[in-house]
Structure 1
Amino acid sequence: MCRMARPRKPLLSRDRIVAAALALIDHEGLDAVSTRRLAAELGVSGPSLYNHFKVKDEILDAVADTVVGEVDLSVFDGDADWRTALMEWSRSYRAALAAHPNIVPFLARGPGRRAAGLSMANAVFGALVDAGWPPAQATRIGALMRYFVAGSALGSFARGFVDDADAYDPADYPRLGQAHLLAEHQQRVDEGAFETGLTALLDGLALQYEQLPSA
């Protein structure tokens, strides 16, 4: 019996295209993604990509949805109160974005028609409304949390300072004598800043919640 030889490379699929695009974005940024570059990375002809995605933005949408799909929404399905749910969701959301910061500017456009993005928006908004927040305020809170988490994941405060004590002359910057040490403790500084801000935001919202007529 004559058997067909196995293809040397895996067949092209949406998952392979998305994985290749995400790898490019992670290593080189959004501008690195083009159908020509992706085809080269995958070892296929450019037109073959169009069997799975019509335009480049569809590929970026799929990448963005893959990243958002990493966010844990299960906390909204349990018995956690709205404050705890927002806290746990925010931590998971930041972790997903911090792992792929170069996609954040694209995600900032909003969920559009992306399934994972819409599911996340639905879960956050629904949890807040179910907890007694007025829909308009729930919308604003959802936006606020998204701004905060995305901003936290996009950059590093600690990385903004150089590892050179001479750059911070005490005569000019008397309060920055230890600034050159920040880069060495980047993760601790950035995660600590996120947790401080998250607690402050939620504490402030809790005070507003106590003043709601239905709370």
Structure 2
Amino acid sequence: MGRPVRPILSRERICTAALDIVDKEGLAGLSMRKLAGKLGVQVSSLYEHVQTKDDVLHEVANTIMANVDVSGFETGDWRHGVASWARSYRAALAAHPHIVPFLAYGPARREASLRRADAVHGGLVGAGWPPRYATMIGASTKYLVIGSAMSSFAGGFDDDIQVYVDRYPHLAGAHRLPEHADEIDRDSFELALEMFLDGLTALHARVVGNAGDSTKS
């Protein structure tokens, strides 16, 4: 009989398997031993491709962030750029909510994250935003997206009406919220994004206008 064929490993296969574990069991459920078992290899084989568990998670994060679309900034319309970026960013994170706490720490040296951060900053500055404001808009959008992806307002209520009857008269219909959670959370995000963009539009007129006035004087 021939020798058993050794499973062929690659960073892509490792990343796919790791993401599957995280999606099903959360960040705490991922270990190098469990990952090796899922791939049908010895733990030592993993270390030929990745150095640590964090190394694996950075690969996973890169894969997820590669799905975030920042091409809207190429139109020169900063509002469209922020809106399309925020929506695709939220969609990417909502598809894999367990990885969000790891992503929340920042881009570190992840290529996909840094490329997108660079595109966002460049698009905002190119549209007239001062660099400091561009940085703050990028950070504020991240807060909005990650907050939306990490928690569900509607899903946080109990489906037992007795919890709310009598004691909380203004929450009489709260027990119905969980069954509509996806719709409520999506529409709530859209409301927050619209208000955010409206505020930025007014601010842009003031900031760019003031900058123009100062150059004329």
Scaled by the length of structure 1, what TM-score is found? 0.93
Q: Where does residue 215 of structure 2 map in the other structure?
A: none
Q: Distance in 2 between matches of 1:146 and 1:175?
A: 32
* Residue number among 31, 46, 61 corresponding to 1:34 in the alignment: 31
Whether contact under 8 Å (1:132, 1:214) holds in the other structure is no
Q: Where does residue 150 of structure 1 map in the other structure?
A: 146
Q: Distance in 2 between matches of 1:97 and 1:8?
A: 36
Q: Where does residue 187 of structure 2 map in the other structure?
A: 192
> How many Å apart are 1:12 and its aligned residue?
0.9
In the alignment, does 2:124 pair up with 1:128?
yes
Whether contact under 8 Å (2:73, 2:80) holds in the other structure is no
Greater per-residue helix proportion: 2
Whether contact under 8 Å (1:94, 1:150) holds in the other structure is yes
Matches within 5 A, 1:52-91: 52-77=49-74, 79-91=75-87
Structure 1 residues 8, 167: CA separation in 2 closer, same or farther (over 3 Å shift)? farther
Structure 1 residues 51, 190: CA separation in 2 closer, same or farther (over 3 Å shift)? same
Q: Distance in 2 between matches of 1:166 and 1:9?
A: 58
Q: Where does residue 92 of structure 1 map in the other structure?
A: 88
Q: Distance in 1 between matches of 2:143 and 2:3?
A: 48
Q: Distance in 1 between matches of 2:53 and 2:188?
A: 36
Structure 2 gap segments, 5+ residues each: 213-217
Q: Distance in 2 between matches of 1:175 and 1:9?
A: 62
Whether contact under 8 Å (2:76, 2:127) holds in the other structure is no
> How many Å apart are 1:132 and its aligned residue?
0.6
Q: Distance in 1 between matches of 2:73 and 2:80?
A: 9
Whether contact under 8 Å (2:7, 2:41) holds in the other structure is no
Which amino acid in structure 2 is aligned with residue 62 of structure 1?
E
Q: Distance in 2 between matches of 1:51 and 1:198?
A: 44
> How many Å apart are 1:21 and its aligned residue?
0.5
* Residue number among 9, 12, 17 corresponding to 1:12 in the alignment: 9
Q: Distance in 1 between matches of 2:98 and 2:5?
A: 32
Q: Where does residue 168 of structure 1 map in the other structure?
A: 164
> What SS does the corresponding residue of 1:211 show, helix, strand or coil?
helix
> What SS does the corresponding residue of 2:171 show, helix, strand or coil?
coil
Which amino acid in structure 2 is aligned with residue 76 of structure 1?
F
The runs of at least 4 consecutive aligned structure 1 residues that moved more than 6 Å come to: none
1:17-66 alpha-carbon deviations (Å, 9 max, x no partner): 00011001111001111111100111100000011111111111000111
Q: Distance in 2 between matches of 1:151 and 1:67?
A: 17
> What SS does the corresponding residue of 1:52 show, helix, strand or coil?
coil
Q: Distance in 2 between matches of 1:94 and 1:70?
A: 11
Structure 1 gap segments, 5+ residues each: none
Coordinate RMSD, CA, aligned: 1.5
> What SS does the corresponding residue of 2:197 show, helix, strand or coil?
helix
Scaled by the length of structure 2, what TM-score is found? 0.92
